[in-house]
Amino acid sequence: MSLRSLGRSFAHVKSPPFYLISTGQKAWSRAEAPRFHASLSRNAAEAPNTAPKDAAHENERHLRYPRSVQALYLRPLRREARYGVPSCDLQLRSYSVRSLEFYADFALRAAYYLKLPAFGPVPLPRITERWTVPRSSFIFKKSQENFERITMRRLIQIRDGNPETVQIWLAFLQKHAYAGVGMKANLWEFGKLAPDGDLEANASQELEERWSHFGLDRSLGTPDAIEELLRSRRFKTMGS
């Protein structure tokens, strides 16, 4: 059979009229539609109810972390200074930038919770040190080797701070010191304009409190007590 004969045979085939298609659709909708909808409702009733699980999962997603945990992902909070009078300059030094930034962030958070207005950290110029030494003392003594050490610094300033609160802040930082990070603090306190013996008395009292932890626990006593100690039987036996 040739292509022309196939085309003629398909040309004689006529499509059903439109009204027959519409009546067929109406008959299907009357007979099969109720069964179809009933099967859908039955499947929906038999299907497991996953709505509560999905709701619980969404609630877990939207759970809010505590404020103390959320603060770790945010910048440190700061107090506002009223007068702007400097009370303390804390200088942090380290050879590692990561350790330096971590401890500076920790110091700022501690100052906020102690209600101290803190400013910084301000990057200070680096300290670069270099050494040139011989590589060895025998065969490589004519060749030299260079060593370099870079010290990075950050400055944190406390303004309008109470001296006692600043001392507590420094003691807290010293107690929880981070390995590889050094600290250097400069303090300012208010005093009298007229020269007085209070400064010397306070300095001597502080020195006595510090020096009391060194040396002997008790004094030797009076000269009479020393003579009695030398005449005692214990010293006589030691001398013999």
Going by pLDDT thresholds of 50, 70 and 90, the confidence category of residue 59 is low
Overall number of domains in the chain: 1
What pLDDT, on the 0 to 100 scale, is given for residue 195? 61
Task: Please give the pLDDT value at position 165.
Answer: 93
For residue 225 the two structure tokens come to: 């007590």
> Is 39 inside a domain boundary?
no
CA 83 to the chain's CA centroid? 29
Tell me whether strands 144-159 and 86-94 are parallel, antiparallel or unpaired. Answer: antiparallel
Question: For the chain, what is the mean pLDDT?
Answer: 77
pLDDT in tens, 134-179: 887 777 777 888 999 999 999 999 999 999 999 999 999 999 999 9
> In which domain, by residue range, is 130 found?
67-190
In a domain, 97, yes or no: yes
Domain membership flag for residue 100: yes
- pLDDT for 175-217, tens place per residue? 999 999 999 999 998 877 766 666 677 777 777 776 766 655 5
CA 150 from chain centre, in angstroms, equals: 24
Q: For residue 88, which of 210, 185, 22 has the smallest C-alpha distance?
A: 185
Mean pLDDT of the 70-91 span: 90
Kindly state whether residue 17 falls inside one of the protein's structural domains: no
The pLDDT, as a whole number, for residue 135 is 82
Cα 181 from Cα 169, distance rounded (Å): 16
Residue 207 placed within a domain: no
